[in-house]
Each structure stands twice: as C-alpha cells, then as structure tokens.
Structure 1
Amino acid sequence: MPAHDAPGSMLPEDDTQSAAQAPQYEIPSYTACRSTNTSATAKFPPAMNGYFQSKITTTFHLGPTAGEKLYAVSTPATVFNNKPTIVLHDGPTNKHPIMATAQSDRWGRSRPVAITLPPRPESQRQDSIVEVVPGGPLKHFSPSHMFETSVGPKGITRERFEWRKSHGNEIKELAGFSYGWKLVRLTGPVSNVAGSRKERPRGYTSDGLEIVALIAHNASWSMTKGFRFAFMGAGLTDTMGENWEIVVVISALQLWFIDVQA
C-alpha cells in the first residue's frame, strides 16, 4: 500500500461522495444531508479529495472529483526530508502561482508549522506568516495544533483556531471508519451543547465549540485517493474569507502530511 493510503475498511471508490456531495452542515448546526452546491465558500469547493498518481511523483492534486482536479500541491523535497515542505498552487499544475507554503519539523511535534502566504498581485502587503503551534491552549489527550489568523472578507478581525486529532462521527461521515483532524473555532460563540458524543449534536466538540473544517485519511483501498477534506459550519460560508480558507487548507494538508510520515 502506498505511503499516502491509510488502513481502513474496504469502501467502494466513489467520487460521488466528495465535494459537491460531501456532508452538508447548517449554520451553525450539523446535519447529515448531502450538499447541493448551496455553500458560499470564497475560494475552494465545500469539500475536496487528495488525488495521487500511481507513479512516483512530488505533486498531487485537490479537487471534487478525479476528473476535476483544481489545485496542485507539490512537495519539493522527498517525503522523508527532515523539514517537510508543501506548496499549494493556485491552479492544477506546479507551474501555477503559489497560494501558500507550509514547513515543519519532520514529526510536527517540537516546532510550529510555518505557513507563508505570498502577496497577491492585487495586494500591496508583504508575505503573511501564520504559525501553527503544537499543543494549543487547551489540554487534550490527543495531539492538537493552534493558530491565529485574520477572518472575514477584509481580514480585519483575528480569531484563534485549533486542529484536534479526531476519530469522531464527523470524520466517519466524511470518510468512513477513518481518522483525521477537526478544526475547532476557539474564539467563536460557545454553545450549550457540550457533552458526550451521544448527547451533543454533530458539528460541536465536547467543550461546546464549533467545528469548521475536517481532513480525514481515506478509509478505502484506493491507490490514488489519499484523503478527504471538507469545510463545515461557519466554514461553509463566505464570512470567514479567502485567506482564512487558504490557511485552513494548507494547515490541514501539512498535518495530514506529518501523519503520513509518522
């Protein structure tokens, strides 16, 4: 099995369960309906898969289906590099402009993941740096990574978010009996739905915080589909902004990449 395939139950290879038909989430609650392109994300589809070629390559692709690969992700160094770097391109080849880069130590535990967003042609700002710090402000039994970034179309407000390792119901609905990471909105409104998984609505954590994105290792025996990614909750609206979406996507990719290396 290739390095990017995660072990799991044998599920059919079915692109109809991705992107436009990924689980749809009400705002701010979670439902199990399938999406019908009703989300208002700014830059990316509401959900995407990671597609890999059968031959050895340093580039893979993001897209809603295998026939619609929208973005290239390149890994300039070998997968066993001590400082793995991934580069997210604004187009389907590694020749397209760079949207963001992420770099961490090999295991992603001792140093922050450094995310760099180069200035856009229409922007006058310099490179923007976001640090994704291992551990986060809360104590969990499972790994977590926290970051702070600007949100909203104008990027005026700053909020904190935390990636938490997860085997929860949201991950299972997205990719079957798998595992991955859920992105929690730390500075958003706290709900009174906290509690055990059986007691609280999906889309919320045990401490009453909203989940706004997911990345899950593919649970099928696919040789070319490595993971599924989806926005949810407030992340499915345009209120969080394009830069926020870029930071979320590349940080999710880097954590998935660290999992693969481990």
Structure 2
Amino acid sequence: MDPSPPPYTEHIQHDQSLEEQIPQYVAPAYNQSSSDSKSLQHAMAKFPPAMNGYFQWKMTSTFHLGLTAEQKLFAVSVHASVFGNKPSLILYDGPTKEDPVLATLKSDKWGRARPVDLTLPPRPHGHHTHAIDLQIVPASTSRVSPTFAFETQGTGKGAGRERFEWRKTHGDEIKELATGHSYGWKLVWLSGPIHSAGGSRKEREMGVASDGTEIVALLAHNASWSMTKGFRFAFLATGLNGTFGETWEIMTVTSALHLWYLDFQGAMAAAAAS
C-alpha cells in the first residue's frame, strides 16, 4: 500500500476529536466535507471514508463520486446500451474520462443472474503492476433478498482469500448514513469474525448483520431518485482501517456502483411503464 495520503486529503480539514483509535463500529457520520480525520486518511488506501454520487443523465453518460457537488474526485462512465460488448461501467482515477482507469466492469443482458467480470488494469505507480481480474457472483437471485459475492486476496504475509457479500438492507445503518434514505445495500465480511450480537434488527448491534457478520461498507439510494444526487456510499468499521487494501477498496466501490446502476435502471423502467 502506498503510505502517502491520496490527493483529496489536502482539501479536508482535520478533526482532532477523531484522532482516537477506530472502534469496532464507526458510524458513517460524514455529512460535511471536513469530517475526515488524520487517522482515517492514512488508513484508507485509495478513497475517502464516504462519498456521494452526482449525475445529470440528460447532459452526459458520465457521473461523479465526490465529497460535495463542487469537489468531485472520481469519474464513472456507463455505456449507452449497458449490456453490450463494451465495458458497461468504467471507474476513473480522477474527475475526468482523461484520467487513468481504475476499474472496468462488463455485464450482459442477464444482469443480476450471471457473474459479472471486473478488471483492474495495471497501476505502475500504484498498488499492483499487473492486471487483476475478479468477478461479482450472484449468491442469491431472489427478488426479495438478492445477494452478490466477491473475493479478494488478503493483505499481509500468509494472508488467504477474503470473502464478502452485498445484501439488500433497510437497516438502521442506512438510515444513519443518509437521512431519509430507507433502502440500500450493505457489504458483509463473510470470512471475518462472527459477532454474537446477530439476530433480529431490534436486538443486534449497529454494524452487525443478522447472521453476526460485520458490515464493512454501505450504499444508500437517494429516496427521491434525484437526477443530480443519486446515492451515498461509506466504508465502515474494519473497512475503514486499511485491513483489506487498495484492491478491495476499488472492488468494493466498483461493485457498489454496479448494483446501484442496476437498481436505477429498474426504477426508471418501472416509472416508464407506469
């Protein structure tokens, strides 16, 4: 991992009250662009702890990830036909399509039912110097509770594979991430420790799924399906402290973008049919 902080940190004020050790669950209270802390800046390999998605489809097929609408950090482009032969989603390492590519994702007309190929091109001055090919695999295609899983190589000497799963959620974590957003996705750490605090939503601790797995990232849809601010994303708990490395961060953000875009397409199709 590159120990130097990413470029966005120079624009963010330091909050000395957050200099303490990161607790087991870190609530995603990142509503201001100055909410980052020095400890979190150095823990994250590539992205800030939380970002918003901004877009205007009538003007361009490119949207942005950023701390605010004025402070855009990463560009994301989607192919017009989406399920064609070209990559259906490209994440750039900067706010324009002229910046280097961080990841490309290729889906097909089956969308939610088949594995999706994701490629991280070589980064000569970054974490990996060769291309990395990964997959997002549908673990459950239930319309009520679909899940999507992926694996990445763990960091550190002798580390094995780490397994994660995206699950739909209406939980309290989503409500805390973005007021008024009652629906989204949570990423759970399948190969991590199981907490005894699992169970019903009323009984379990914040940041813990019903099966006791830890929630390490969240994606919250904009409840109004705004045509300018589409979603809010945040890393949580172990996902904030650098344990999983840069490849995992890129994989997590890109897979979250894919799931958000599938939901967005579904919402637009339903609106057009009504």
| Shorter-chain TM band | 0.7 to 0.9
Residues 41 and 236, structure 1, Cα contact 8 Å, conserved in 2: yes
Task: Name the SS of the counterpart of 2:191 in structure 1.
Answer: coil
Shift of 1:77: 2.8
User: CA 1:191–1:60 in structure 2 vs 1: closer, same or farther (change >3 Å)?
Assistant: same
Q: Distance in 2 between matches of 1:93 and 1:151?
A: 30
More helix by share: 2
User: How many pairs does the alignment contain?
Assistant: 240
Higher relative contact order (CA 8 A, sep 6+): 1
1:187 aligns with 2:191: yes
Quick one: which amino acid aligns to residue 149 of structure 1? T
Task: Name the SS of the counterpart of 1:211 in structure 2.
Answer: strand
Q: Deviations over 1:77-130 (max 9, x none)?
A: 345759871000000001111000112224522211111000111477432111
1:28 aligns with 2:24: yes
1:37 aligns with 2:36: yes
Structure 2 gaps of 5+ residues are: 1-13, 267-274
Shift of 1:154: 7.8
Task: Name the SS of the counterpart of 2:104 in structure 1.
Answer: strand
Q: Deviations over 1:207-228 (max 9, x none)?
A: 1000000111112464310010
Q: Distance in 2 between matches of 1:155 and 1:51?
A: 40
1:105 aligns with 2:104: no
Quick one: which amino acid aligns to residue 27 of structure 1? P
Quick one: which amino acid aligns to residue 28 of structure 1? Q
Quick one: which amino acid aligns to residue 222 of structure 2? N
1:142-221 paired onto structure 2 within 5 Å: 142-152=145-155, 156-175=159-178, 176-220=180-224
Q: Distance in 2 between matches of 1:124 and 1:213?
A: 23
The equivalent residue for 2:119 is: 116
Which residue, 239, 246, 253 being the options, matches 2:243?
239
Task: Name the SS of the counterpart of 1:70 in structure 2.
Answer: strand
Q: Deviations over 1:17-53 (max 9, x none)?
A: xxx99xx995323547558423221110100000113
Quick one: which amino acid aligns to residue 86 of structure 1? L
Residues 46 and 249, structure 2, Cα contact 8 Å, conserved in 1: yes
The equivalent residue for 1:46 is: 49
Q: Deviations over 1:42-83 (max 9, x none)?
A: 110100000113633110000011111000001133457598
Of 230-239 and 75-84, deviating more is 75-84
User: CA 1:170–1:254 in structure 2 vs 1: closer, same or farther (change >3 Å)?
Assistant: same
Q: Distance in 2 between matches of 1:34 and 1:88?
A: 22
Quick one: which amino acid aligns to residue 196 of structure 1? S
User: CA 1:195–1:72 in structure 2 vs 1: closer, same or farther (change >3 Å)?
Assistant: same
User: CA 1:259–1:140 in structure 2 vs 1: closer, same or farther (change >3 Å)?
Assistant: closer
Structure 1 gaps of 5+ residues are: 1-19
Quick one: which amino acid aligns to residue 239 of structure 1? T
Quick one: which amino acid aligns to residue 124 of structure 2? P
Shift of 1:189: 0.5
In the superposition, the TM-score normalised over structure 1's length comes to 0.81
User: CA 1:60–1:177 in structure 2 vs 1: closer, same or farther (change >3 Å)?
Assistant: closer
